[in-house]
Amino acid sequence: MGVNNKRAKGTLVTGVIGEDTHSIGIKILDLTLSAAGFKVVPLGIQVSQEEFVDAVIETNADAVLVSSLNGHAPIACLGLRDKCVESGLTEILLYLGGMLLMRDKNWGEIEKMYKNMGFNRVYKPSVLPNQVIKDLKVDLKI
């Protein structure tokens, strides 16, 4: 993905975790982030936790943006923060968004569950890329 600015605002690893094959949302996010001046490292669909960690190490990324739309995020995301810490990535920002559960649940409970798993930001399926960009700028102090 091209970057509009001469110097990238930050390096972001993006992907759809687990066996999930939904790709449209993450592609839109990748394009929008790139247009906003971030260096995007898109891993695509069906990305394992290990692939996310390896990509962060390889690219010295500032944040990981995980997408999940099949409702299996509680299983696919469990332990991702631990894998990051075990690899020395104690400060990496973890963002998560999409259709995060197969059943209806109060959004506050959903957000709390994923924050307890170590995610810094958790987004509803209806979030727009501009909100993610705004949050990245705050979290990365840009």
Tell me how far apart the alpha carbons of residues 90 and 79 are, in angstroms, rounded to a whole number: 13
Instruction: Flag residues of the chain having pLDDT under 50.
Output: 1-6
Tell me how far apart the alpha carbons of residues 49 and 52 are, in angstroms, rounded to a whole number: 5
At 21-50, the pLDDT tens digits run 989 989 999 999 999 999 999 999 999 999
pLDDT, position 112: 95
**CATH number of the domain located at residue range(s) 58-142 in this protein:** 3.40.50.280
**Active site residue ranges:** 20, 22
Q: Are the C-beta atoms of 38 and 10 separated by less than 8 Å?
A: yes
Query: Is the whole model's pTM more than 0.85, yes or no?
Result: yes
Separation of first and last alpha carbons in the chain: 20
What does the domain layout of the chain look like in residue ranges? 58-142
